Amino acid sequence: MPEMNFSSFLPEFEGGYDSSAKEKVWRAQSAEFREFWVTRVMGTDSDPISDEDCDKVIKILDSNGKGNNKHTEAIARAMVSQGAWRRLFNELHKNKKLGSAVNKILTEQDPKLKAQYIDDLYGMEEAQKIYLTGKSGNTISAFIAAFDPFVDLSIISLKDRKLLLEYLNSPYVKEIDAETIGSKIVHSNAALTEAIKASGVIGDARKISNYCYYAPVRELWRGEFSSPQEPSGNNEAKEFVVTVATDDTDEQLDESGVRDSIKIQGLLAKIGEQMGFDIWLPNPDRARVAKVWQPRDPRTLLTTLPLSYDKATQSTIGLIDVIWIKNKRSIARAFEVEHTTSIYSGILRMADLVALQPDIKIKMHIVAPLDRQEKFSTEIRRPVFSYMTNGRLSDMCTFISYDDVRHIAELEYLHHTRDGILESFEVSAEQPEE
């Protein structure tokens, strides 16, 4: 069998890629994004931007966005929750200084100045609080690509750009680590476009980005495992029971001596209580969580699990950080609060539960700082979690950031809100890249 090179799959890819139709779609969607940006985000009014208006544009920016499916077109999977996107747009609209900083990036044509403006944005503390900045550059790169999808790559992750540059032997890969974030984003776009076209893949930025994420091409450069898309053909049960690892990372305490993870546990308990659920906390955590949350009705915090599982399953469930119990007899949602760098122990605990009870149907969430999100996505797609008896763990367990939990806890009328609101704040590791 001949050795595959980067352009080997081009004829196959182009057989299903209608360049003319795609160009028409992206001219319309880029125009829609620009109009939203000018009239709503940069508008002089003080009215909040509605969720409905935000969602129309989020759908363009993020394939994980509400309303997207395999037949719709979005820039990329940005790993930002729906709720975070909405807050981001409203903050850019309200905070004129911040909005203007992003506007300068989008409208600047000079590469050197654009890089400088991105660096300036990354230096703004208010930008760091709303998912606008991050080491992979996903959010600002999604904005840039939507503003001009034919020039700026839809490969928004700097991690993916570097992997591609290495695979294509671009000389720029030797320089990228020494550059500022702004220079990385701007220069990698130009260098990667040049390297892809030099490999024989010709077209606008949108086309070559799609080609890079075409499944057989992605396997060439990404160099990582891939989760199975369908269950295996045989019915032989595969048993995966894994033990929860510990992590040596010490979590910092705040001035009051309470860890962030304990605060988040308390907030999750408070949110669940306000939504009408009973709450389960592991016995070792109760005294610590009591410093930040006390139930209004002591009966809300259950002393025993009202579940009819075997002893091994009960023991595993009993160690999950926060559980919302519905009608005192069934699990509505389970949360593992994961502060460690590895983020592995929380995923392992959820895997234990699913391995012990393959038919269990509950909604599971890993809750961690935002900078752990990419690590979550990588770890939960490992083969050990992908070939489980009843499917992929990544289809059952999603990520919610600390920031989003804090935001949910501050929502008005939370006691009239259903738990489905979490779907606007969770991020799945298994959404398609393109």
Higher pLDDT among residues 433 and 299, named by residue: 299
With a CB cutoff of 8 Å and minimum separation 6, the contacts of 316 are 349, 352, 353, 356
Please, how many CA atoms are within 13 Å of residue 361, restricted to the half-sphere of its CB? 0
* Residue 249 pLDDT > 50: no
Q: How far is CA 175 from the centre of its chain?
A: 28
pLDDT of 25 higher than 50? yes
pLDDT score of 33: 98
CA angle, 140 as apex, 186 and 90 as ends, to 5°?
A: 155
For the cut 80, the answer to whether the pLDDT of residue 287 exceeds it is: yes
Give per-residue pLDDT as tens, 269-283: 999 999 999 999 999
* pLDDT per position as a tens digit, 174-202: 999 999 999 999 999 999 999 999 999 99
Average pLDDT over residues 240-254: 46
Per domain, the residue ranges of the chain are 10-222, 260-424
CA distances from 370 to 128, 134, 334, 337, 387 (A): 11, 9, 19, 12, 27
| Of residues 244 and 63, more confidently modeled | 63
Give the strand pairing for 278-280 and 397-401. Answer: unpaired
Output the pLDDT for position 255.
53
What is the structure's pLDDT at 3?
Answer: 59
Distance CA 89, CA 55 (A): 10
Mean pLDDT of the chain: 88
CA angle at residue 281 from 276 to 286, to 5 degrees? Answer: 120
Return the pLDDT at 339: 81
| pLDDT on residue 431 | 53
In the structure, what pLDDT confidence band is assigned to residue 248 with cuts at 50, 70 and 90?
very low
Confidence (pLDDT) at 253? 54
Q: Read off the pLDDT band of 145 (50, 70, 90).
A: very high
Checking if the pLDDT of 79 tops 80, the result is yes
pLDDT of 234 > 70? The answer is: no
